[in-house]
Amino acid sequence: MRDLMGMMGKVKEMQAKMEQMQAEIAELKAEGKAGGGLVTVILNGKGEMQSLKIDPSLFKEDDVEILEDLIVAAHKDAKDKAEAVAAEKTKALTAGLPIPPGFKMPF
């Protein structure tokens, strides 16, 4: 019975750490760039776009498709960076737990 109480305490502790980590991830800012920095996107940890900067040299009528592609590429770059940081934080929190490979946490 003592082991069960100890385990419940650890579960509560883990839950608190998990909530703190989720808050940290939500506050995260990830910057993605494309076209050698001509397009810059900043996302928060939830993947919501916070900022978009486009170099004025890209504002030409015949370059619309290029601009669209660069925006998508910059968004992907920022999203990949945010996911990498979130995965690293999750890995540090769950170190030592028997979690199957490829298991994604619910956030």
Q: Give pLDDT tens digits for 36-85.
A: 999 999 998 888 899 999 998 888 777 788 888 999 999 999 999 988 88
Q: What is the pTM of this model?
A: 0.63
Q: Where does residue 105 rank: exposed (0-12), middle (13-18), buried (19+ CB within 10 A)?
A: middle
Among the residues of the chain, which ranges form H helices? 2-27, 64-93
Q: Is the pLDDT of residue 106 over 70?
A: no
Nearest to 55 by CA among 37, 43, 71: 37
Query: At 32, phi and psi to the nearest 5?
Result: -120, 140
Neighbours of 78 (CB within 10 A): 25
